[in-house]
Copies of this chain bind each other. A is one copy, B any other.
Amino acid sequence: MNASATGDDKVAIVGTGLVGSGWAIVFARAGYKVALYDTAPGNADKSLAWIAERLRDLEAAGLIEAPDAIQARLSIAPSLSDALNDALYVQESVLERVEVKTTLMSEIDKVIGPRTLVGSSSSGLGASLYTEHVTCRERCLVAHPLNPPYLAPIVELVPAPWTTQETMQAVRALMLRVGQSPVEMTREIEGFILNRLQGVLLMEAWRLVEAGLATAQDVDKTISEGLGLRWAFMGPFETIDLNASGGVADYARRLGGLYHNIASATKEHRPWDETLIAKVEAQRRTVLPADQLAARAAWRDRRLMALAKHKRDMDLAEKECSNSNIK
């Protein structure tokens, strides 16, 4: 992970909540100096303390060494101008509201250097909604992570109509340098890739529970003890490419009809109403009482760390196996 950063390179984190703090770990872990800035007094201090705990967790899980050296690369910037000074990249992670991001972008535009790039952690709002008015807009894009970014490598790069190819390429290269897995969209669409895929799966999951066909717990098991096992290391296209002797085209011709039937039979998409929400909530609370939500989230993070370590070890073992000619 400590690959190719020069040590002089600096990244600014603007907005130091859960997402911004997670990003800070990603960049500092890779050797970058990271300046933290948040408008709310005390937030950046809380972020530093939170990061110190996470670094200890990551060390205990065997995912990093020398947490102190990583922590030493982090500092709090007294102003937005100080945060951005000499930064090659700004990861903006403020509240997901167009007016908040629009105002911030105006502020950034006043102090940004001529080569600094700006990525937004927005999970669904395209950069066109809050960067049209700024002079640096060609250097702005969405760089949407999955939480927490220091355990899930994916980052969606989504250009606004005015984002240049140079910006896309430079942020892509940066994300690769810090150990993330960038994917690129050619243009904006609501929900990008990640939340569109999650969204259609959730809509169907809720529909099955609403229709009384299965419990939320059994729908969950179908993923966690079934489909999710393959998806932990292969995407849906590779999965079906390997599930028919003639590859993906063979699979599509055999099973396209079934999936088309299923999708076509559910043309009506009603919003989740309070009755349905209450039903799902009640089912979840029998499995996990509300007072155990935080403990279970900590369990999830331990499992994610262990899975990250498992995948890294598997990838390393494959690389070392020089006889293998499989990609």
* Most B C-beta atoms less than 10 A away, residue of A124, A256, A260, A295: A256
How far is it, in angstroms, between the C-alpha of A204 and the C-alpha of B306 when the chains are bound?
Answer: 30
Report the copy number of this chain in the oligomer.
2
Please indicate the chain B residues that have their CB under 8 angstroms from the CB of A292 in the complex.
326-327
CB of A191, distance to nearest CB on chain B (Å): 5
**Residue A322 at the chain B interface, CB threshold 8 Å:** no
Question: Which segment, of A19-27, A69-77, A106-114, A208-216, faces chain B?
Answer: A208-216
Say yes or no: B284 contacts A237, CB within 8 Å: yes
- B residues less than 8 Å from A30 (CB atoms): none
A122 to chain B, nearest CB (A): 12
Interface 0/1 of A225-236, CB less than 8 Å to B: 111111111111
Q: Could you mark each residue 179-221 of chain A with 1 if its beta carbon is under 8 Å from any beta carbon of chain B, else 0?
A: 0010111110111011111111111110010011110111111
Q: Are A222 and B197 in contact (CB under 8 A)?
A: yes
Q: How far is the CA of A92 from the CA of B200 in the complex (A)?
A: 32
- Nearest B-chain residue to A204, judged by Cβ: B200
Q: Are B202 and A196 in contact (CB under 8 A)?
A: no
What chain B residues lie within 8 Å of A327 (beta carbons)? 287-288, 292, 296
- Of the candidates B203, B235, B248, which one forms a contact with A221 in the assembled complex, judged by CB atoms under 8 Å apart? B235
Given A241-B293, A252-B280, A293-B247, the answer on whether A223 and B203 have CB atoms closer than 8 Å is no
A129 within 8 A of B: no
- Kindly identify, within residues 249 to 287 of chain A, every residue whose CB is under 8 Å from any CB belonging to chain B: 249, 252-253, 256-267, 269-272, 277-278, 280-281, 283-285, 287
B222-A193 in contact (CB<8A): yes
Q: Nearest B residue to A289 by beta-carbon distance?
A: B327
One of A5-13, A79-87, A97-105, A147-155 contacting the partner = A147-155
Pair B326/A201 contact, Cβ less than 8 Å: no
Please give the residue numbers on chain A whose beta carbons come within 8 Å of chain B beta carbons, in ascending order: 124, 146-147, 151-154, 156, 181, 183-187, 189-191, 193-205, 208, 211-214, 216-238, 240-243, 245, 247-249, 252-253, 256-267, 269-272, 277-278, 280-281, 283-285, 287-288, 290, 292-293, 295-297, 299-300, 303-304, 306-308, 310, 314, 325-327
